[in-house]
């Protein structure tokens, strides 16, 4: 059962990477604005919940939990993300660095997958290693010069996510055949 859940998790991750890549290729600015607006809605809702929780709790417990402060800060951040998402677009290079860091973390995680396959004596472990290498190289390129052309970087990130998802699917197919 655990192996099946792991396989489903990997497939979902591949589909997520593929969707991210396609959306980034189609409209990187619109995609980023949409993500920021969705994040704003989540922050706003969580902030409102914390504010209400503050007033429902006894004063001593509420003071310790700091729900009012957290709720107000999340509400302000949520409204800012929803209403001023273009501010983030202006600060695009910073967002590019964040995407580069996420890609780097993803690539490091894929190193373990490749090593796990190698330790299991899978003959096709190198597909996962190639996936890790592609993700790491792309993340390093992104992080090396995030201030160049944002559009080129978004296209590059989109292609990276699509290529990575395809390599992951190939690695999963060979992993299943090795069992």
**In this predicted model, what pLDDT tens digit does every residue of 12-63 receive, in sequence order?**
888 888 888 888 888 877 888 888 899 999 999 999 999 999 999 998 888 8
CA 26 to chain centre: 18
CA 76 to chain centre: 23
On the question of pLDDT at 1 being above 90, the answer is no
On the question of pLDDT at 4 being above 70, the answer is no
Better-scored residue on pLDDT, 178 or 164 = 164
Structure tokens, 56: 């429902």
Residues across the chain: 179
**What's the pTM value of the predicted model, to 2 decimals?**
0.54
> Would you state the pLDDT for residue 3?
59
> Would you state the pLDDT for residue 149?
56
| Nearest CA among 175, 167, 170, 126 for reference residue 21 | 167
Q: What is the tens place of the pLDDT at every residue in 97-151?
A: 888 899 999 999 999 999 999 999 998 899 999 999 999 998 888 888 776 656 6
Residues 23, 29: Cα–Cα separation, whole Å: 10
Q: What is the tens place of the pLDDT at every residue in 58-98?
A: 988 888 989 999 999 999 999 999 999 888 777 777 777 88
> Would you state the pLDDT for residue 137?
92
Structure tokens, 99: 């995407």
């Amino acid at each position: 059962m655990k192996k099946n859940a792991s396989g489903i998790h990997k497939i979902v991750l591949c589909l997520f990477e593929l969707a991210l890549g396609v959306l980034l290729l189609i409209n990187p600015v619109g995609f980023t604005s949409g993500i920021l607006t969705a994040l704003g809605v989540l922050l706003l809702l969580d902030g409102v919940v914390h504010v209400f929780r503050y007033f429902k709790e006894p004063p001593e417990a509420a003071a310790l939990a700091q729900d009012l402060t957290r709720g107000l800060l999340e509400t302000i951040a949520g409204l800012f993300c929803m209403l001023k998402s273009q501010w983030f677009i202006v600060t695009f290079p910073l967002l590019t660095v964040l995407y580069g860091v996420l890609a780097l973390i993803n690539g490091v995680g894929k190193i373990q997958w490749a090593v796990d396959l190698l330790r299991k004596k899978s003959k096709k472990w190198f597909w996962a290693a190639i996936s890790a290498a592609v993700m790491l190289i792309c993340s390093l390129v992104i992080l090396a010069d995030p201030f160049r052309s944002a559009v080129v970087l978004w296209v590059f990130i989109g292609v990276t996510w699509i290529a990575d998802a395809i390599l992951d699917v190939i690695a999963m197919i060979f992993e299943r055949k090795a069992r």
